Structures are given as C-alpha cells and as structure tokens.
C-alpha cells in the first residue's frame, strides 16, 4: 500500500536531483567551452580550470582564507548587533499600540532606503575605519528584524492580551512568555533577510574603506586585471551567501515546525 507508493516518488526525487546536477554540470561545461573557444576574452572570463586553480592556491597559500574569515566575521558581528538591537527596539515599539501609531509611518518611509546610501554619511561621521563598516552593517541590517518584530507584536491576538490581564502578568512577563515566543518565527525570517543585507554591506564597506576582506580582494584583483583571482573570490562570496542562507532557512523551518 504505502510501500507501493514509495518507489515511484523516491525514484522521481532521485531523478530530479541527478537531472539538476546534470544541468549544473552542463552549464559549467558550457563555461569551459566558451572560454576555450575564445568567444569571450580570458581577461574577463577565465576558464573554470584557471578559476579553480586560483581558488585552490589562494586558500592554501594566499590570502583568500584570511579574507574570507574577515568578511564572515564582519558580517556576523554586524548581523548579531543588528538582530539584538532590532528585537530590543522592535519589542519596545511593538508592545505599545500608541508608539506604533506614531512611529510606524516613519519606519515605513525609512525601509525602502538603500542601506548603502547611508555609507557616505557614515564615512563622514566615523571615517574610513572598521568601526564605520560595522556601524553601517548594523544600521542597514536592523530594519528587517525591527519591522518583523513590530509586526509580530502587532499581530498578537487581542484575546491573548486579555488572558494576560486576567492572569495579572506584568509587562515584562507578557513579553517574555507570550510576546517573544509568538514573534519568534517572524524574527527568524527577518534575521534571514538581515543576514543577506549584512553580507552585502560588509562587501561594500570593504570596497569603500579598503578593509581586509573578500570585497576589497576582488576589487583589487579587478583593478590589476587578475581575472582568475577575481572569480575565485566571487565564488567564495557565493558560497558564503549560500551557506548562510541554507543554515538560516533550516533554523526557520525548525522554529515553524511547532506552529
């Protein structure tokens, strides 16, 4: 009965996975062919082999490992800071309908502002320093977490508020026992977006402020026309983006399982 259903579905899953892999390999093959055939100049499209070689060499003997670590570190610090502040401020605004009414329109206006536009202001304020980059990352990455926290608190069923009043829960207890647990899935979703923004801003910050990291590494590689190293750095950034996304998506799914 159910065993009879299992093989077709499993077979299809495996077939899809294999097929997906084939598509990917075909694309890489097309890349190799394009660069070998000389359609695109090797100055801006190195072969996959050259990229792989630069990647291997850069990680083993060169600076790529250190640069990756620096970028990831910067991204995580900024992200953690942004998340903590976002939840804290979001909670303060979220539990008070009055505050929400006054502040929300302003928040909605700031939201679409590109975070990178704030970078020059931060440079003017704090100069070209690691602190500046961190501040910008935090400022840019705070919005998804802040807004989803506010939204989460705003969406608490009024019935739960009444329950809390009847039980005599203090404001703090309400937040800890009802508010935050209810808001957690929204917060995690917000944090996932924040991490993406944090990575982008870390790269931009490194490029502008010449801080150690993959951002400045690839910019320098471009300026010196060293395409394989440039592409190696881009691949690493892609991997960082992919891994952080996957890990957080997993966390999000685990949190939402209990809903």
Partner 1 sequence: MSRGYLSRLRGLALPVAALLAAELAMLATGAQSDAFARPSEILRAMWAAALDGSLAAASAQTLGNALLGLAMGGGIGLACGLWFGAVPRVGRLSALTVNLLRPLPSVALVPIAMLAFGFGYRMESAVVAFTCIWPMLMFAQDGVARIEPRLLEVAQVLGLRGLRRAWKIVLPAALPRIFVGLRLSLGIALTIAVTTEIVANPMGLGYGLSMAQQSLNPALMLALVIWIGVLGWAVNAGLLRLQERLFGRRGARP
Nearest to 141 by CA among 59, 213, 62, 196: 196
Task: Say which residue the tokens 């009043």 belong to.
Answer: 165
The smaller minimum CB distance to partner 1, of residues 144 and 233, is found at 233
Q: How far apart are CA 6 and CA 12, in angstroms?
A: 10
**Range in contact with partner 1 (rule: CB under 8 A) among 18-26, 52-60, 166-174, 251-259:** 18-26
Would you tell me how many other CB atoms lie within 10 Å of the CB of residue 209? 21
Q: Collapsing DSSP states into helix, strand and coil, what is residue 56?
A: helix
Backbone angles phi, psi at 213, to 5 degrees: 160, 175
Is 7 near partner 1 (CB under 8 A)?
Answer: no
Q: Which of 6, 37, 60, 124 is the binder for partner 1 (CB under 8 A)? A: 124
Sequence-separated (6 or more) residues with CB below 8 Å from residue 63: 217
Return the residue of 34, 50, 76, 118 that touches partner 1, per CB under 8 A: 118
Please state the closest distance from residue 112 (CB atom) to partner 1, in A: 4
Neighbours of 205 (CB within 10 A): 31
128 lies in the binding site for partner 1 (CB under 8 A) = no
The single residue among 5, 6, 23, 37 that binds partner 1, judged by CB under 8 A, is 23
Q: Is 78 in the site for partner 1 (CB under 8 A)?
A: no
Would you give the binding string for partner 1 spanning residues 151-190, x where CB under 8 A is met? ----------------------------------------
170-185 b/e (C-beta count within 10 Å ≥ 16 → b): eeeebbeebbbebbbb
Question: Do residues 201 and 77 touch, judged by C-beta distance below 8 A?
Answer: no
Q: Which position among 62, 130, 185, 241 is part of the footprint of partner 1 (CB under 8 A)?
A: 241
Residues 124/127/130/134 CA torsion (nearest 10 deg): -20
Residue 193 found at the interface with partner 1 (CB under 8 A)? no
Contact footprint for partner 1 (CB under 8 A):
16-17, 19-24, 27, 43-45, 101-106, 109-110, 112-114, 116-121, 123-125, 196, 199-200, 203-204, 207-208, 214-215, 218-219, 221-222, 225, 227, 230-231, 233-234, 237-238, 241-242, 244-245
């Amino acid at each position: 009965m159910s065993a009879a259903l299992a093989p077709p579905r499993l077979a299809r899953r495996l077939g899809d996975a294999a097929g997906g892999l084939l598509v990917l390999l075909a694309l890489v093959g097309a890349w190799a062919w394009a660069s070998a055939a000389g359609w695109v100049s090797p100055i801006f499209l190195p072969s996959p082999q050259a990229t792989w070689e630069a990647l291997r060499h850069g990680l083993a003997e060169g600076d790529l490992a250190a640069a990756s670590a620096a970028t990831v570190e910067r991204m995580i610090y900024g992200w953690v800071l942004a998340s903590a502040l976002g939840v804290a401020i979001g909670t303060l605004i979220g539990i008070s309908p009055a505050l929400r009414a006054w502040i929300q329109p302003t928040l909605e206006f700031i939201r679409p502002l590109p975070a990178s536009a704030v970078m020059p202001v931060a440079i003017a304020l704090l100069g070209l320093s690691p602190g500046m980059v961190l501040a910008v990352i935090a400022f840019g990455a705070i919005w998804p977490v802040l807004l989803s926290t506010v939204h989460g608190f705003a969406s608490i069923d009024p019935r739960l508020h009444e329950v809390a009043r009847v039980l005599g829960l203090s404001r703090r207890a309400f937040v800890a026992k009802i508010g935050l647990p209810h808001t957690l899935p929204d917060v995690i979703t917000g944090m996932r977006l924040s991490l993406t923004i944090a990575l982008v801003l870390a790269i931009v910050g490194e490029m502008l402020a010449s801080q150690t990291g993959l951002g400045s590494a690839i910019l320098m590689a471009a300026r010196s026309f060293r395409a394989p190293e440039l592409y190696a750095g881009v691949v690493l950034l892609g991997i960082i983006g992919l891994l952080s996304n996957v890990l957080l998506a997993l966390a999000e799914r685990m949190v939402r399982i209990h809903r």
